[in-house]
């Protein structure tokens, strides 16, 4: 067995055999700590195979170098249902030279919405829409005189979004 294999085995034994410290203090006590399996996924690369992982198999991003890859990140909680809190999704519609596009129709759809929300941009090209927080939305733009190279953008509205910009690529 080579050094990498020995290191992996020792790390796995340390995680299983060493007692975990349970936190106490203030008005709380943690009676149990659990590191769960990452979902039973099996990954085989070359001579190495990992069956399951400690942690969550869908957390973080994947860093791949050569024949190995590592998934990083922390546990993600369950997807939470939206609360009564609303957040603002706002931005601007402009021409390629930065001039405002007035009366562009901005439509927000998805998330917890039962029907799409549509608003028009003001004289300075700005728009703002209130939506329930913690949801994913598709924000799209339409105008009778302008066409947009990217007419729709995906937004995950956890907090206020203020930087959406729709830039016209040509005028009819």
Asked whether the predicted pLDDT for residue 104 surpasses 90, the reply is yes
Range of the domain at 9: 3-71
Asked whether the predicted pLDDT for residue 119 surpasses 80, the reply is yes
How much is the average pLDDT of 98-124? 95
Answer with the one of 71, 95, 127 that is the final residue of a domain. Answer: 71
How much is the average pLDDT of 95-111? 95
Asked whether the predicted pLDDT for residue 37 surpasses 70, the reply is no
- Both tokens assigned to 141: 């733009």
Does the reported pTM lie above 0.75? no
Whether 66 and 103 map to the same domain: the answer is no
Question: Does residue 60 lie in a domain region?
Answer: yes
Question: Does residue 76 lie in a domain region?
Answer: no
Share of the chain above pLDDT 90, in %: 43
37-66 per-residue burial string, b: 16 or more CB within 10 A, e: under 16: ebeeeeeeeeeeeeeebebbeeeeeeeeee
| Predicted confidence (pLDDT) per residue in 45-96, tens digit | 566 655 554 554 455 555 555 565 555 555 445 555 545 589 999 999 999 9
Residues 73 and 59: beta-carbon distance below 8 Å: yes
Say which CATH number the domain at 128 has.
2.60.40.10
Answer with the one of 71, 99, 114 that is the final residue of a domain. Answer: 71
Q: Domain total for the chain?
A: 2
Whether 94 and 147 map to the same domain: the answer is yes
Average model confidence (pLDDT) across the chain: 75
Asked whether the predicted pLDDT for residue 133 surpasses 80, the reply is yes
Question: Does residue 80 lie in a domain region?
Answer: no
Question: Does residue 35 lie in a domain region?
Answer: yes
Whether 65 and 140 map to the same domain: the answer is no
């Amino acid at each position: 067995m080579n050094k990498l294999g020995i290191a992996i085995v020792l790390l796995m034994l340390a995680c299983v055999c060493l007692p975990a410290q349970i936190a106490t203090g203030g008005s709380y006590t943690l009676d149990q700590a659990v590191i769960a399996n990452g979902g039973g996924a099996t990954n085989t690369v070359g001579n190495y195979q990992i069956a399951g992982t400690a942690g969550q198999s869908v957390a973080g991003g994947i860093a791949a170098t050569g024949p190995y890859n590592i998934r990083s990140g922390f546990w993600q909680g369950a997807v939470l249902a939206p609360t009564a809190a609303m957040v603002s999704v706002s931005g601007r519609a402009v021409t390629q030279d930065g001039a405002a596009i007035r009366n562009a129709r901005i439509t927000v759809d998805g998330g917890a919405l039962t029907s799409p929300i549509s608003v028009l941009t003001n004289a300075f090209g700005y728009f703002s829409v209130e939506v329930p927080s913690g949801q994913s939305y598709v924000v799209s733009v339409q105008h009778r005189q302008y066409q947009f190279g990217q007419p729709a953008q995906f937004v995950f509205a956890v907090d206020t979004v203020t930087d959406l910009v729709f830039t016209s690529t040509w005028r009819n």
